[in-house]
Structure 1
Amino acid sequence: MAMADFYDDHDTVAAATADQPLLSVDGITRVYGDRIGCADVSFDLWPGEVLAIVGESGSGKTTLLNCISSRLTPTCGTVNYRMRDGASADIYKMAEAERRFLMRTDWGFVHQNPIDGLRMTVSAGANVGERLMAIGDRHYGNIRGAAIEWLERVEINADRVDDQPRAFSGGMRQRLQIARNLVTNPRLVFMDEPTGGLDVSVQARLLDLLRGLVSDLGLAVVVVTHDLAVARLLSDRMIVMKDGRVIEAGLTDRVLDDPRAPYTQLLVSSILQV
């Protein structure tokens, strides 16, 4: 599929369906033997909205993220995604090739550890350019130019385009992973603890970058984090999880400033107010 075909044919339809959910999750459950990973989780995600899934370690938030991003098959429940042509598709009824194409183009996934989301033995430019090739771009000059543009957009100097990620710092690797994901202009990005393991100063710089990109590009984002400060800075709406179940949900400011569930109150009271 040519890159122009991937975008141009459906942009008008996508704009017309902006008042409909981009992602609809209904009753997602994942069990591991007699242990619950997540249970009966339902929500809608709208175009341009950022949803944070928060909770302590073992709360089920990463299991839920993997289920809704097709990285882990749920035990039951459905995940429907509104495609660029306006049609709603159950991602677990798609052919494997169709789902993989979606993950390489219209979706992005930012891993906590950038090593999991990058090819460490090829150049930074090649890491970014791979996604363009997935949607049919074969012009070397165009690919290299787009890679340089995106490196600069995530604050990596253009002269690093031929360097391998293993020569980058942790923060630079994470920014490279973000560029790799965003180069195809996806409409939905999943993020798993995107600031985890980074120094505080690097976290702050990365959060500022993410906020700007999300706003500029109108991305819909599902972000998993244990850090409520990250959730406040990035998200419009929040889901709080404990033992695989949703304990509380609502607008981020409302949940953090006026938590109603005792567990949420405990989470909020255990951190410095931001």
Structure 2
Amino acid sequence: MTADTPDTPILSVRALTKTYGARIGCEDISLDVWPGEVLAIVGESGSGKTTLLNCISARLPRSSGEVLYRMRDGETRDLDDLSEAERRFLARTDWGFVHQNPADGLRMRVSAGANVGERLMAVGERHYGQIRETATDWLGRVEIASDRIDDQPVAFSGGMRQRLQIARNLVTRPRLVFMDEPTGGLDVSVQARLLDLLRQLVADLGLAVVIVTHDLAVARLLSQRMIVMKDGHVIESGLTDRVLDDPQHAYTQLLVASIPES
């Protein structure tokens, strides 16, 4: 039983700063992520959005500030106060992380079924038949044929690998999923199919998601709220439709104006 309530954030970031020597990765960032909400972090290359994502997902140490996560028992803890074992357990159970390059999020030389099954074993599943049955079900949910369950990801296309990575992350029904440019590098038709799939799965599972993207069309399709970053700072934030339909900052206006007409 989780302690998720819609009036309490699942993740709170306060005055987060990450520096690399004299260079600022991101500075003085504060945000909340609510249960069941998709928050998009957008900006051009070098804006600091991936640095921010890596800091709030505990993949990169922050220089200062707080990242507070509400655990399943309702207790809110700073990620820096968790032991390495506790952080690893969160990453295998409560959290998912979808990489832009699916090879970074998959074991490429084990079968598709084993990639999904590993995550189930991390939450205590031990019955081989049940693990295989669940893996087969999830491959179907991400539109991978069941007869590919014993194939390795090296034999899959880029779009199939990305869908497999999504299945591997979502099979344990995490409470919070981080996504780093999940449609980057895919053909436009493959992107559209993947986005439809992601939108449906996020809605079905009621996930909280933080997604980094440079593609404003992706942000509009998937997110309810967004923050716009430039040079390591948040320059605009709000409801996605409001930010994209009525951008206030000159930089956001430039980003919106650069979207090709459909």
TM range (shorter): over 0.9
Do residues 82 (structure 1) and 70 (structure 2) align? yes
Question: Which of 93, 96, 101 is equivalent to 1:113?
Answer: 101
Question: Which of 201, 213, 237 is equivalent to 1:213?
Answer: 201
Identify unmatched segments of 5+ residues in structure 2.
Answer: none
Offset from partner CA, 1:63-91 (integer Å, 9 cap, x none): 00000000001000111111111111111
Identify unmatched segments of 5+ residues in structure 1.
Answer: 1-9
Instruction: Report SS of the residue matched to 2:191.
Output: helix
Partner residue in 2 for 1:243: 231
- Matched AA of 1:158: S
Which aligned runs of 4 or more in structure 1 are off by greater than 6 angstroms?
A: none
Aligned identity (percent) is 77
Offset from partner CA, 1:114-151 (integer Å, 9 cap, x none): 00000000000000011111111111011111100100
Superposed, which structure 2 residues align to 1:20-169 within 5 Å? 20-169=8-157
Instruction: Report SS of the residue matched to 1:211.
Output: helix
Determine the C-alpha separation between the residues in 2 that align with 1:171 and 1:31. 34
Partner residue in 2 for 1:233: 221
Give the TM-score normalised by the residue count of structure 1.
Answer: 0.94
Determine the C-alpha separation between the residues in 2 that align with 1:18 and 1:58. 33
Instruction: Report SS of the residue matched to 2:51.
Output: helix
Q: CA deviation at 1:271?
A: 1.3
Determine the C-alpha separation between the residues in 2 that align with 1:253 and 1:19. 22
Q: CA deviation at 1:273?
A: 4.8
Give the TM-score normalised by the residue count of structure 2.
Answer: 0.99
- Matched AA of 2:188: V
Partner residue in 1 for 2:162: 174
Determine the C-alpha separation between the residues in 2 that align with 1:138 and 1:45. 33
Determine the C-alpha separation between the residues in 2 that align with 1:216 and 1:125. 22
Offset from partner CA, 1:185-219 (integer Å, 9 cap, x none): 00100000000000000000000000000100000
Instruction: Report SS of the residue matched to 1:179.
Output: helix
Instruction: Report SS of the residue matched to 2:31.
Output: strand
Question: Which of 256, 263, 274 is equivalent to 2:244?
Answer: 256
Instruction: Report SS of the residue matched to 1:152.
Output: helix
- Matched AA of 1:168: F
Determine the C-alpha separation between the residues in 1 that align with 2:249 and 2:28. 18
Instruction: Report SS of the residue matched to 1:240.
Output: strand
- Matched AA of 1:117: G
- Matched AA of 2:125: D
Deviates more, 1:209-218 or 1:17-26: 17-26
Determine the C-alpha separation between the residues in 2 that align with 1:18 and 1:251. 17
Offset from partner CA, 1:230-272 (integer Å, 9 cap, x none): 0000000000000000010000000000000011011111112
Partner residue in 1 for 2:175: 187
Offset from partner CA, 1:33-92 (integer Å, 9 cap, x none): 110000000011100000000000000000000000000010001111111111111111
Instruction: Report SS of the residue matched to 1:64.
Output: helix
- Matched AA of 1:227: D
